[in-house]
Amino acid sequence: MIRFEQVSKRYPDGTWAVNDLSFQVAEGELVTLVGPSGCGKTTTMKMVNRLIEPTDGRILLDGADISTVDPVELRRRIGYVIQQVGLFPHKTVLDNTATVPHLLGWRRSQARARAAELLELVGLDPGTHGDRYPDQLSGGQRQRVGVARALAADPPVLLMDEPFGAVDPLVREHLQNEFLKLQETVRKTVLFVTHDIEEAVRLGDRMAVYGHGRIEQLDAPAKILGAP
Ligand code: ADP
Ligand code: ADP
């Protein structure tokens, strides 16, 4: 479903952030990208939704080279969640979540109904939390809204870049559990960046261990941990 073919990225200052990367992620699979900071995880991720263009190689989504896919279509097919989810501060939680369906041309009432559904899916009560503003939410709740919003267009692919990185460990564990449950329901193809090895083991169907712009190991967490 997502396929990297000999992908490299060199930044203008000469840094080779990603070097000759080839791997693929199956439909409905969750692959965690783990490794020390600066080893190319975020660069890998951002090349999938074309926030960054590779210097060499190509990336295929369902067999199509992403450089040939219309950017609007690409955005519809790929949800993106980052560490500090940027919510519109002057919109309520419900309206923040309804933004994407609304942009996709849904009527306002339909978009809001869809938003309420999505909030429930991520463990927020639309009645209690829907009318609040982002600054009236905890960090964990804001990240949940971010996940809800990323799911709004029902994209087959989710890119998650340290989505639970900024919340305290207990909340993080809670969010991880909820995300695993959610994934059982929605079955997205997921690339999930984390520098927390426990998180990578817990969530990943497979785990890609990065070092210096390359994937050094890619396998089920149990196999990697059990390896001599
Ligand atoms: P190593 O993995 O052996 O440490 P590097 O990744 O540091 O090698 O690459 C050595 C040099 O080769 C880099 O400084 C860069 O100039 C060049 N290089 C690396 N990757 C590529 C590539 N994909 N295409 C062209 N040149 C490359
Ligand atoms: P990670 O997500 O694993 O922390 P990144 O993909 O963010 O790694 O970065 C990989 C390498 O590329 C690092 O050496 C980083 O400093 C460098 N890098 C990232 N973004 C840029 C940029 N815009 N310009 C130059 N170098 C960058």
Per-residue tens of pLDDT for the chain, all 228 residues: 999 999 999 999 999 999 999 999 999 999 999 999 999 999 999 999 999 999 999 999 999 999 999 988 898 899 999 988 889 999 999 999 999 888 888 899 999 999 999 999 888 999 999 999 999 999 999 999 999 999 988 899 999 999 998 888 888 898 899 899 989 988 999 999 998 999 999 999 999 999 999 999 999 999 999 866
Length of the chain: 228
pLDDT at 6: 98
Cβ atoms 49, 56 nearer than 8 A: no
pLDDT at 227: 64
Distance CA 11, CA 32 (A): 24
Q: E-strand spans in the chain?
A: 2-10, 16-25, 30-34, 56-61, 64-65, 78-82, 157-161, 189-194, 206-211, 214-219
d(CA 202, CA 220): 11
Task: Compute and round to an integer the Cα radius of gyration of the chain.
Answer: 18
Angle at 65 between CA 64 and CA 66, to 5 degrees: 105
Number of the ligand 2 atom closest to the C-alpha atom of 39 = 3
Q: Is 167 in the pocket of ligand 2 (CB under 6 A)?
A: no
Ligand nearest to the CA of 21: 1
Residues with CB under 6 A from ligand 1: 8, 16, 19-20, 56
Q: Rounded to the nearest whole angstrom, what is the distance from the C-alpha of residue 28 to the centroid of ligand 2? A: 28
ipTM for this prediction: 0.70
Q: What span, in angstroms and rounded, lies between the C-alpha atoms of 164 and 81?
A: 10
- Of residues 199, 181, 99, the one with CA closest to residue 145: 99
Mutation choice for ligand 1 from 8, 11, 19, CB with most ligand atoms inside 8 A = 19
Tell me what pLDDT residue 105 has: 85
